[in-house]
Structure 1
C-alpha cells in the first residue's frame, strides 16, 4: 500500500512539473500513469524513470544555454551537456563549453548541478573564511566566487550549481568569462 501511495505521489509531482504541451516527458508520465492504473507497477516505475531522465536531460540543456558565446577575440566551441540521472556515478546534470583565442589560449567553463559532491563543496564555498583560504574572493554579479592563484574561478549558484572556469588563459580572461555566464538562467529565474 505504501508503495502505491509513493508511486501516486511521484506521478502527481511529475505531472505538476511538466509543461502543458505534449512532449516526450509528458508522454512518459502519461504512460506511467496508465501502467500504474492498470496494475503494472514495474512498467510504471520504468516509465517514471524515463521521465526523470528526460527531465534531467532538459535541465542539462538549460545549463548549456546559460554559457556565454565567445567574447571579442575568442571563438567558442559548441556547448555540450549531459544528464547522469540518479543512477549515474554522481547524478545530476553537467554542461561545458570551451573557448580559444588567436594566441591559442583556452578557457573552459564547466557547470554541474544537483550532484552530491556539490553539497560537500557548498559548505566550504558558503563560508567566506573557508572560501578565502582557497583563493581570492571575487564577485560575479551578486554571487561570491573564488579565484585561485592559477586564475581559475569557482562559484556556487543557488546552493546546487557548481561553476568552474579554468584553462591556460590569463586570470583576467577567466574572470571575464565567469562574469559573462547567465547566472540568473542557471538558477532558473
Structure 2
C-alpha cells in the first residue's frame, strides 16, 4: 500500500511538471488521485496500474517509430509493438518489423526495452572479452554490437534497450538495417 501511495505521488508530481493536456494517462492519474483522496485505495491502485500500462504502450509505440523504413530494393511490413506487464520475467516493451527483398530474403529487427533479461545481457556486453566470445565486435555508429557468424546482430542501447537484427539475408543487409535504426530516438535523445 505504501508503495502505491509513493507511486501515486511520483506520477502526480511528474504529470504536474508536464504541460497540461487531456489524455488517457493523465485521466487515469487524476482518477487515481480522486480515488485515493476518497479513501478508495484499491481503486487508486487500479487506476495507477492503468496509467502505467498506458505509458508502457506509448513506450512500445516509440520503439516501433525508431525502426527504419525499407531500404532501396526492399519492402517492409508494418511495425508492431507490444507491452507486457511491468512485473514478471518478460516485462517491458517490444517492437519489431520485417523487411523482404526481390530474392525473398528477409531481415527482421526486434527491439526490447526494460526487461530484466536485458540487465543480464548488459553485463556480458559491457565486457569486451565476454562479448567477443559471442561473436565479432562491431561498431554501429557509437554503439558496440556483436555480429555472429551468420551475420545476426545484437546491440545494446543505454543498457536497457536490446536491438536484434536477424534473418536469412546476407550479413551486409543486416548491417545496413542496423545502421538505419534511429538510435537517438530509441534512447530518447
Q: After TM superposition, give the deviation of residue 10 of structure 1 in Å.
A: 3.7
Instruction: Name the counterpart of 1:73.
Output: 73
Q: Which range moves more in the overlay, 125-134 or 95-104?
A: 125-134
Aligned residues: 189
Structure 1 residues 13 and 151: CA distance shift in structure 2, 3 A: farther
What SS is found at the alignment partner of 1:155?
strand
Structure 1 segments unaligned to the other structure (5+ residues)? none
Structure 2 length normalisation: TM-score?
0.94
CA distance in 2, matches of 1:187, 1:114: 12
Structure 1 length normalisation: TM-score?
0.94
Encode CA deviations 1:76-130: one digit per residue, 9 max, x unaligned: 0000000112135511000000000000000000000000000001101111111
Instruction: Name the counterpart of 2:28.
Output: 28
What SS is found at the alignment partner of 2:97?
strand
CA distance in 2, matches of 1:78, 1:18: 31
The alignment's C-alpha RMSD in Å is 1.7
CA distance in 2, matches of 1:7, 1:172: 46
Q: After TM superposition, give the deviation of residue 11 of structure 1 in Å.
A: 3.7
Matches within 5 A, 1:1-189: 2=2, 5-16=5-16, 20-87=20-87, 89-189=89-189
CA distance in 1, matches of 2:123, 2:160: 11
Give yes or no for contact 2:89–2:117 (8 Å, CA) kept in 1.
no
What SS is found at the alignment partner of 1:137?
strand
Encode CA deviations 1:31-70: one digit per residue, 9 max, x unaligned: 0000001110000000000000000000000000000000
